[in-house]
Amino acid sequence: MMLQVRGVSKRFGGLQALTDVSFDLAEGEILGLIGPNGAGKTTLFNAVNGVYAPEEGKVIFRGEDITGLPSYEVARRGMSRAHQVVRPLHELSVLENVMVGACFGREGLSLSAAAVRANEALTQVGLVERAHQPAGSLNVAQKKRLEMARALAAQPYLILLDEVLAGLNPSEITALLDTIRAIRDQGITILMIEHVMQAVMNVSDRVLVLDYGVLISQGLPQEVVNDPQVIEAYLGDPEMTARLLGE
C-alpha cells in the first residue's frame, strides 16, 4: 500500500478541521479528493505531507510511519506536491525552478544532475521548449505545468496535486488530464484535490468526499456521485450525476 491514513484529526483552536479521517491509497492509483469549500481538503494534504502534525491518527507512507515529520523529510522519502496557488521563483528560469525540486527531492541531486532531471520533467509536462525563459513570463496554464514539473523532478513515488486544473480553459484541462494520466502510467501514484467535477470523476480510479472535515463517502466515481450524502452535502442536484460521468 502506498499510503495509509488512519484516524487523522486536526484542530486549529476551537475549529475542528479534520475528524477521524481514514483511507488507503494503493500503488499506481489516482485517488480524487472532493468536497465543498472549507471541507478540509487542503488541511488533509498538509497533514499527509508534513505541513501540519495531526493531533490524533497516523500517516503511513510506503510502510513507514511519517506522522509529524516535516515536509522536507517527507519529500526525501518520495512524496511531492503541486500547490493550488502557483508561486514560481520569477527571477529564475523555468529550468532553474524545476531544478529546485530535483535538489530537494528523493535523491538530493547535485546541480548538474538536477539540471538533467529538470529537463526530463519539463519534457514530461510539455514545457521543455520554455526551459530558459524567466518563470514569470509563463501564462497560468504553463505555470501549472511548471509546478507539476517541479514536483516530478523530486522523483516521487506519490504526488499530491492541489487543484492543478483551477483557472484553465476546457482545452487546457483536457491536455493537463492527459499529462496526469501519463504520469500515472510511469508508475507514480496520485492523490488530487479538484473542483472541476467532470474532470476529476473521469480521471480518478476512486474518489473521497470530505464535508466539514469528515470523510462522508469513498468509492468508485459512479458510487460516490449517487451517494445521497454526497448529493446533499456537495452536488446538490441528482441530475448532475450523468453530466459528471460524461453520460
Average pLDDT of the chain to the nearest whole number: 90
Q: Is 8 part of any domain?
A: yes
Query: Is residue 172's pLDDT more than 60?
Result: yes
Cα(21)–Cα(7) distance, integer angstroms:
5
Task: Assess whether 83 and 152 both reside in one domain.
Answer: yes
The β-bridge relationship of strands 214-219 and 206-211 is: antiparallel
Q: Is 239 part of any domain?
A: yes
Task: Assess whether 211 and 147 both reside in one domain.
Answer: no
Q: Is 13 part of any domain?
A: yes
Query: Is residue 196's pLDDT more than 80?
Result: yes
Cα(221)–Cα(202) distance, integer angstroms:
8
Q: How many domains does the chain have?
A: 2
CATH number at residue 67: 3.40.50.300
Task: Assess whether 6 and 18 both reside in one domain.
Answer: yes
Query: Is residue 238's pLDDT more than 80?
Result: no
- The answer to whether the CB of 49 falls within 8 A of the CB of 97 is no
Task: Assess whether 26 and 95 both reside in one domain.
Answer: no
- Domain range enclosing 110: 79-156
Beta strands in 62-205 (DSSP E): 64-65, 79-82, 158-162, 189-193
Query: Is residue 171's pLDDT more than 80?
Result: yes
Instruction: Kindly report, residue by residue over 60-110, the tens digit of the pLDDT.
Output: 999 999 999 999 999 999 999 998 878 888 889 999 999 999 999 998 889
pTM to 2 decimal places? 0.90
The pLDDT score that the predictor gives to residue 243 is 56
